[in-house]
Structure 1
C-alpha cells in the first residue's frame, strides 16, 4: 500500500493523528524536502529508508515507491500541506493505477489554513466575501487565461495566492487592473505555522515593496481582500432573532432560508 500523506502547513504538530501514525509505521518515506518540515521525520522507526523528492524526478520517485510496495513494505509519500493543492499527486496516482498498485490519501492542513491562523482572519465574512479564490500567478507553469489573476480580481472575493512571491510587482498590477482598489488590505504570510513565520500586513499597491523590505522572495502566501480589515455584518446563525433547525428565535423570529 502506498500512503499519500499531507504533512501540514509547517509546524510539526499540525500533521493529522492518522498521518503521524503512518509515519511511525513506514518502512520507506519519500518526502518533499523543499517544503516539508524535516522535524516530522523524527518519528520514523529504526531502519526506515528516507528519500528527499526535491532531488528526484517523477520516475525516480515512482521507482522507489513501486519497488517498496512490491517488496511488501509500507511506503509513505509525504507532501507539504494538503497535496490536493499544487501537490502533483494526480500523475503519481495515475502511474500507480497503471501498475495495479493500491494507495490511500491522508489529507493534511493546507498552508492557506495556516495563513488564516497566522492572520487571525476569517476568509468568509457576511456581506464582505463568501468565496475564497485559491490561485497562482502564471510563471514557468502556465495558468489558463480564463483563470488569470485579473479575471478573478473582478469578483472582489477573498484571494489566497500561492507560488507568486517572486512576481509581486506584476501581481499587484494585475490585482488592480482586475478591480481591487490600491488600498485594499493585503498580507504576505511567510512560512505559515513554522517557527520563523512572518506576517506582513500591507495593501495591494505595496505588496512588492513590503516583501523587498523584509527580503522575502519565496515560501510565502499572499492574501488579498476586505476580510482582512473593515466592517462586516453579524452572522445570522447565532443571531437571537434568527430561527434555525435547533433553536427558535427569541426576538421576532425569522426562518432559516
Structure 2
C-alpha cells in the first residue's frame, strides 16, 4: 500500500502527467483538493472511495489514509500544480512517516510554468535573468528571515509570486525600488482553466489594470525583464561555432 501525492497540474486536465493519470485511474482511494483540482482530472477513475478534502482538516485526511492502509488500498492524494510547491504535503508526510505508511511524490506542472506558456515567454534569458524565484506574499504567515519580498527583489531576478494579488499595491511598493517603475509585470488568473484571464503592464500601471479586471484571488504574479523582452544574446547551445558532446 502506498499514498501517492500527485501533482494534477495547474487546471487543464491534459496537463497532468501520464503517471499521475494512471494512478488516479487505478488507485481504489482518491483524496483530492477539490477547491483547486477540477473534477475532470479524476475522469476514468474506478475508485471505491473518492473524497474532496477541501472541507477536511489534517487529522481527518490522515484518518482516511490510515483506514486505506489498514485495508491495503493505495491512495491517490491529488494536489494542484506540483505538490512540492505550496502543496501542504510536508505535514502529511510527517504524519505518514510517524505511522510508517509508505508514500511517493508524483511531480506536476506548476502554475508558474502554465503562466509562462500562456504569456509565450521564457523565464530565463541570457543577459536578462538566469534565475527564477518562486515565493509568496507574507500575509497570514510571516516569511522566514531573509525571505521578505524586498530582500528577494534585490536580486532583480524573474520572480513568480503566489497568493499575493489581494496585496498587489504593497507588492508593487516593495518591488519598485529594485526593478524600476518600467519593469514588466503580468498577473494571470486561473492559468489553463477554461476561464483563464490575464493582464500585462508595468509596475507603474499594473494596479489599475488588475482593478479593472477584478482579480482578487487564484492569481499568480510574474515580474521581471524577461517578459516581452526581445533584446538578449543567443544561447551558446545552438550557435554554429559552439562545439559540445553531441556536436563536435
Post-superposition offset of 1:171? 0.6
| 1:2 and 2:3 aligned | yes
Residue 198 of structure 1 and its aligned partner are, at CA, apart by 1.1
Q: Which residue of 2 aligns with 1:240?
A: 240
**Preserved contact between residue 7 and residue 79 of structure 2 (Cα < 8 Å):** yes
Task: List runs of 5+ in structure 1 lacking aligned partners.
Answer: 249-257
Q: 1:229 & 1:40 partners in 2: Cα distance?
A: 32
Residue equivalent to 1:132: 132
Instruction: After TM superposition, give the deviation of residue 199 of structure 1 in Å.
Output: 2.3
Give the equivalent residue in structure 2 for 1:116. Answer: 116
- Tell me, in whole angstroms, the C-alpha distance in 1 between the residues paired with 2:246 and 2:104: 37
TM-score by length of 1: 0.93
1:4-43: CA deviation from partner (whole Å, max 9, x where unpaired)? 1110111011111111011111211111111111211222
Aligned residue for 2:5, secondary structure, equals: strand
CA distance, structure 2, for counterparts of residue 55 and residue 240 of structure 1 = 57
Match of 1:35 in 2: 36
Shift of 1:185: 0.5
Shift of 1:111: 0.8
In angstroms, what is the RMSD of aligned CA positions? 1.1
Distance 1:215 1:221 in 2: 14
Q: TM-score scaled by structure 2? A: 0.96
Residue equivalent to 1:221: 220
Could you tell me whether the CA contact under 8 Å between 1:8 and 1:111 is conserved in 2? yes
Counterparts of residues 204-215 of structure 1 (less than 5 Å)? 204-215=203-214
Deviation at 1:207, TM superposition (A): 2.7
Q: Distance in 1 between the 2:234 and 2:43 partners?
A: 45
State the shift of 1:157 in Å.
0.6
Partner Cα separation in structure 1 for residue 206 and residue 142 of structure 2: 22
Secondary structure, aligned partner of 2:134: strand
Per-residue CA deviation, residues 70-118 of structure 1 (Å, 9 max, x unaligned), is: 1111211100000110111111111011111111111111111111110
Provide the C-alpha distance between the structure 2 equivalents of 1:131 and 1:48, rounded to a whole number of angstroms: 44
SS at match of 2:205: helix
How far apart, CA to CA, are the structure 2 residues paired with 1:146 and 1:81?
Answer: 26
Alignment partner, residue 97 of structure 1:
97
Deviates more, 1:146-155 or 1:124-133: 146-155
CA distance, structure 1, for counterparts of residue 204 and residue 151 of structure 2? 18
- Matched residues in 1 for 2:60 and 2:169: separation? 36
Q: Distance in 1 between matches of 2:209 and 2:235?
A: 33
Distance in 2, matches of 1:25 and 1:11, equals 20
The correspondence of residues 72-221 of structure 1 with structure 2, limited to 5 A, is: 72-177=72-177, 179-221=178-220
Which residue is equivalent to 1:11? 12
Residues in 2 aligned to 1:204 and 1:34: alpha-carbon distance in whole angstroms: 30
Q: For 1:205 and 1:54, how far apart are their aligned partners in 2?
A: 37
- How many residue pairs get aligned? The number is 246
State the shift of 1:144 in Å: 1.7
Tell me how far 1:232 sits from its aligned partner. Answer: 0.9
- Per-residue CA deviations over 1:208-245 (Å, capped at 9, x if unaligned) read 22221101111111000110023111111111122222
Tell whether the 8 Å contact from 1:169 to 1:207 is kept in structure 2 after alignment. Answer: no
